[in-house]
Amino acid sequence: EVQLVESGGGLVQPGGSLRLSCVASVFTFSRYWMSWVRQAPGKGLEWVANINHDGSEKNYVDSVKGRFTISRDNAKNSLYLQMNSLRVEDTAVYYCARGYTYGPDFHSWGQGTLVTVSS
Amino acid sequence: QSVLTQPPSASGTPGQRVTISCSGGSSNIAINVVNWYQQLPGTAPKLLIYSNNQRPSGVPDRFSGSKSGTSASLAISGLQSEDEADYYCAAWDDSLNGAVFGGGTQLTVL
């Protein structure tokens, strides 16, 4: 069974930085588009960013452009999200998700990691 | 305000058929496929329908999806208590160059 395990969440002050990681197993990581999707407490799902198979193509939601960077290391079967200049409104559970295309066809999800931005 | 519009709530009794709508526009649903997710309380979302009407293996055929123009629908027949969950539609938006989700529909089984 496909496994995606996120880590790196925690409490950070506004303006701070955090790096999330997602380790994949039981599938050929380098063949898939990967995304980060977040969910603020009590709210709906919001797509954050995606990256193609070799990292040459990346897309972001407008609210994180210039602050967040998605990347991957296929040799380590890992996906990352570097989050800088964090805002209170970035508080959410962050999920990594595997897709077959650039679109939101997320056949597999991790369990999520909570990021709390607060002073 | 979500780009894709869903009713915030829906309900039905066991055995009933319910539908959840998802309304979009010319840059998303009209030209891209729609996917549907089920999220049970406290858990990660689960893909229910992809490419408008395809079910991943393991998803019961009680769940079906359709699309017409700028709208899509999720239908659940033979409603069961375990179907009580939040449901989200999603599609790629060519104008935003990003994925968009509906605001979610909370389904209650009465």
Interchain CB distance below 8 Å, A61 and B98:
yes
Contact (CB<8Å) B50/A47:
no
Q: Which of A22, A47, A63 is the mutation pick for testing B, counting most B CBs within 10 A?
A: A47
Q: How confident is the model at residue A47 (pLDDT cuts 50, 70, 90)?
A: very high
Specify the pLDDT at position A26: 87
CB contact under 8 A, A45 and B46: no
CA dihedral defined by A86, A92, A97, A103, rounded to 10 degrees? -80
- pLDDT digits 0-9 by tens, A63-111: 999 999 999 999 999 999 999 999 999 999 999 999 988 889 999 999 9
**Closest residue in A to B36 (Cα–Cα):** A105
From B108, B110, B109, B103, select the one nearest B8 (Cα to Cα): B103
A5 touching B (Cβ < 8 Å): no
Count of alpha carbons within 13 angstroms of residue A1, beta-carbon side: 6
pLDDT tens per residue, range B9-59: 999 999 999 999 999 999 999 999 999 999 999 999 999 999 999 999 999
- Taking an 8 Å cut-off on Cβ atoms, the answer to whether B92 and A109 are in contact is no
**Cα–Cα distance between B55 and B61 in angstroms, integer?**
8
